[in-house]
A and B are shown apart, each in its own frame.
Chain A
Amino acid sequence: MPAGLLGRLPFWLATLLFVFVFIALFENLFKYRDSWPVPAALLLRRLASALLQAVVVSALVTAVFRYLFLVQLP
């Protein structure tokens, strides 16, 4: 990824970070805003699920574009 978007990071890491932060922020700060404070276990479960989705999306998108469509990702 270029400087200016998410700093100089490899594409897979930038994707992982973006998806994780997006889900974590929008779920906890907006969607479930009214249910704060939430128990730590529930918050951890939500964050872990966001991280899992981020890892899967990052791995799939990177693999499909790099190895199937032969795109030289940054």
Chain B
Amino acid sequence: MLDGLHYFAAALVAFADWWPLFNIGWATLLGICVGMMPGLTATLGVALLTTLTFRMQAGDAILILVCMYVGAIYGGSRSAILLNIPGTPANAASALDGFPLARAGLAGQAMGIATLGSFLGTLIGMLFLALLAPVLAEFALKFGSFEFFWLALFGIVISGHLTALDDPLKGWIAGFLGLLVAMVGQEGIHAYQRFSYGSIDLAGGFGLLPVLVGTFGFAEVLAVMKNPAYEAVKEASDRIVPRLRDLLPYRRTIARSGVLGTFMGLIPGVGEDMGAWVSYAAARRASREQEKFGHGSVEGLLSAETGNSAAVPGAIIPVLTLAVPGSAPAAVLLAAMFIHGVRPGPLIMIEFPGFVFEVVAMILYAGLAILLFGLLLTRPLLRILTVPRERLMPVVFVLCTVGAFAIASRLFDVWVMLGFGVLGFVLREMKYPMAPLVLGVVLGPILDKNLRRGMVLSDGSLEPFLTRPISAVLALLTLIVIVLSFKSLRQTLASLLLRLLPGQR
């Protein structure tokens, strides 16, 4: 614990220098701008910045990416409040109460509350990151190939279940499509070529970043140009900085949303969207002003923004300790860490003990930056929303193209980006969620390698996958998620339970 505090203090001092502060400032501001623009998501922002920072020092690059991530998730609240269009999918719940507040002439107050909620959510998530990451990393040392296989499968199944709101099957299809994409190219144990059909490019596999830039960048360009243009509320003449006495009645909501958001972030591939929705639903259930929800409730907006911002540090916890991303932007962050030679995973507290606390300090500085920019630059930031999409989208497309190319200087990556952009657009139009697809691409090699390594260790037997204690728990959880996803099975189980426990009606 004391070691942790020592590392944290050292990181705080190290980042208090001019160069890191400059990087924190511009990256967070850029993140807010990216988040604000409908169509530009946190994943796209982090993916594009990864391509722009891959020649920087590891510490600087990861600091910039963390600031972009925190800034973009917060920035999305602006367009949710002013346009009724969430800037990132994580801010959809914020639009429910933020936009009615703006329409009632309280746009300034709504933005102030969203800013403070995001800041407090970031702080709560950061606290859990500092406390949980070392414990989880130590626990993860007990994980072998069998457990990592189940963890990867559980991640795909739960992410598919929670992110596809209408039909979990669509989420699983997206997840398994991601796994299939990850199987292309040389496999990780014997470098045997799969699905390459003699092509040298395919033998190298699909790069994670070109795939992400395509599905989140090019697909968004197509979607934004397809949808009708938007009109923004361009005025915020009321008070912006929230008063303490206005927020004190909601202290329980803030604490609850922070904790729920962090834990939703922690679940592989679920992330900020569900952090916001679950916090919003819990706040509504516990609220004394339930009738105001959806009609301009301060509590509703506060819970959604606290929840999604707390999910950011929450999603980074499994990235650092298990090398399994908690959300789509965290997946890009994980890839960036590998590019920069940091190897997250169970050994992180042994190999890079200070790194976890450096990330904690990065999140604290990013949180302070959103508080500062959010409250001071409210009116200048409104101008961002007036940039016409016809002027912005070609620039985004050029950055997607050159960003996909820059990582490995392979033209094949540009084609991959274009192909996955079209695929992502078509899938999104058919209401398939993108998060499980990304998680599938990231977890594919982990799942594949650990399944085969486990089989080698057990001499071809599947028994240890089901009999080792942690494996058995993860297998059971995966099965429960699948069973609970089917309405008919859920109803059968419920009636069976009622018959077994007749008194529990």
List residues of chain A with CB under 8 Å of any chain B CB.
2, 5, 11, 15, 18-19, 22-23, 26-27, 30-31, 53, 57, 61, 65, 69-74
Beyond A19-B395, A61-B399, 5 additional contacts (C-beta under 8 Å) are A2-B411, A18-B394, A18-B397, A19-B398, A72-B409
B390–A31 contact, CB under 8 A? yes
Q: B54: which A residues are within 8 A, CB to CB? A: 69
Q: A73: which B residues are within 8 A, CB to CB? A: 402, 405
Q: A19: which B residues are within 8 A, CB to CB? A: 394-395, 398
Q: B406: which A residues are within 8 A, CB to CB? A: 65, 69, 71
How far apart are the CA atoms of A23 and B229 in the complex, in Å? 15
Contact residues of A: prevailing secondary structure:
helix
A5-B414, A26-B225, A31-B388 known; A70-B55 Cβ under 8 A: yes
Min CB gap B471→A, angstroms = 44
The 6 closest A-B pairs by CB, nearest first: A22-B394, A26-B390, A19-B394, A71-B406, A27-B390, A2-B411
How far apart are the CA atoms of A53 and B52 in the complex, in Å? 21
List residues of chain B with CB under 8 Å of any chain A CB.
52, 54-55, 225, 229, 388, 390-391, 393-395, 397-399, 402, 405-406, 409, 411, 414
Q: A57: which B residues are within 8 A, CB to CB? A: 394-395, 398
Q: Which residue of A lies closest to B411 (CB)?
A: A2
B390–A23 contact, CB under 8 A? yes
Q: Which single member of B391, B402, B411 contacts A61 (CB below 8 Å)?
A: B402
Q: Which residue of B lies closest to A19 (CB)?
A: B394
How far apart are the CA atoms of A70 and B402 in the complex, in Å? 12
Most buried by A among B225, B229, B395, B405: B395
A31-B229, A72-B409, A74-B411 known; A23-B394 Cβ under 8 A: yes
A23–B411 contact, CB under 8 A? no
How far apart are the CA atoms of A61 and B401 in the complex, in Å? 11
Q: A71: which B residues are within 8 A, CB to CB? A: 402, 405-406, 409
How far apart are the CA atoms of A42 and B54 in the complex, in Å? 43
Q: A15: which B residues are within 8 A, CB to CB? A: 398
How far apart are the CA atoms of A30 and B389 in the complex, in Å? 12
Q: Which residue of B lies closest to A15 (CB)?
A: B398
29 contacts between A and B (CB under 8 A): A5-B414, A11-B402, A15-B398, A18-B394, A18-B398, A19-B394, A22-B393, A23-B390, A23-B391, A26-B225, A27-B388, A27-B390, A31-B229, A31-B390, A53-B391, A57-B394, A57-B395, A57-B398, A61-B398, A61-B399, A65-B406, A69-B52, A69-B54, A69-B406, A70-B55, A71-B402, A71-B405, A71-B406, A73-B405
Q: B229: which A residues are within 8 A, CB to CB? A: 31
Q: Which residue of A lies closest to B55 (CB)?
A: A69
Q: A74: which B residues are within 8 A, CB to CB? A: 405, 411
Min CB gap B404→A, angstroms = 11
Q: B411: which A residues are within 8 A, CB to CB? A: 2, 74
Most buried by A among B52, B225, B402, B414: B402
Q: Which residue of A lies closest to B399 (CB)?
A: A61
Q: Which residue of A lies closest to B393 (CB)?
A: A22
